[in-house]
Structure 1
Amino acid sequence: MEVITETKKEKNMKLRLLTLFLLGLFACICLTCQVGTRADACKSDLRRADALSPSKNSCELLQFIVGFVPTNIDFLILNCYQYQVKIRECEKEGNRYTPALYSKE
């Protein structure tokens, strides 16, 4: 029968805490990050932008308010144009094959 000394108990405790920490870190990464291409990561960043910055929402907002003739329609047109340019940059040939991590939505 083995006698467990205080140092072995401390070592086991530290090992268990380290294991628990690593499992928690792994679970956090699995739940919040996704592996994909660089193009996917770029598009994900653009999707998370709001309607006042170049995003898909600014183009949809432009389609909705075009009948009301608002004073800031030039701003929306510019944002929609910038969004389309950024989407084309995301879809460049090199971005399709480069791996990347990005957060899930």
Structure 2
Amino acid sequence: MAIMVGTTVASREEARKIASACVEQGLAACAHIDEIESVFFWNDAVQNAAEYRVFLKTAGASYDQVEKLIASLHSYDEPAIFSLPITQGSESYLRWIAENSSGPK
């Protein structure tokens, strides 16, 4: 099954570093980077911050490796790393994700 793995980071450079590493290592077929505003509870208070969201399209079987790679490159003490199933999509697109996200070639 295809999934999207998501995380948020503090800078565009960090987002690009994570996205590039996952794609270059064959763990994600592609990545999207968006600038966002986040509101969250941290250090006993509501926080507000500009962040960058990274969504990686990958194979479900690659999740553990993607999570480890993100964690190794991430600057946060408690990074958000999660997956969402891609339950539907064109057959050719889902095949492309599978072919390009199962590890080094």
Q: Same fold (TM over 0.5)?
A: no
TM-score under structure 1 length normalisation: 0.24
More relative contact order in 1 or in 2 (CA 8 Å, sep 6+)?
A: 2
Larger relative strand fraction: 2
TM-score when scaled to structure 2?
0.24
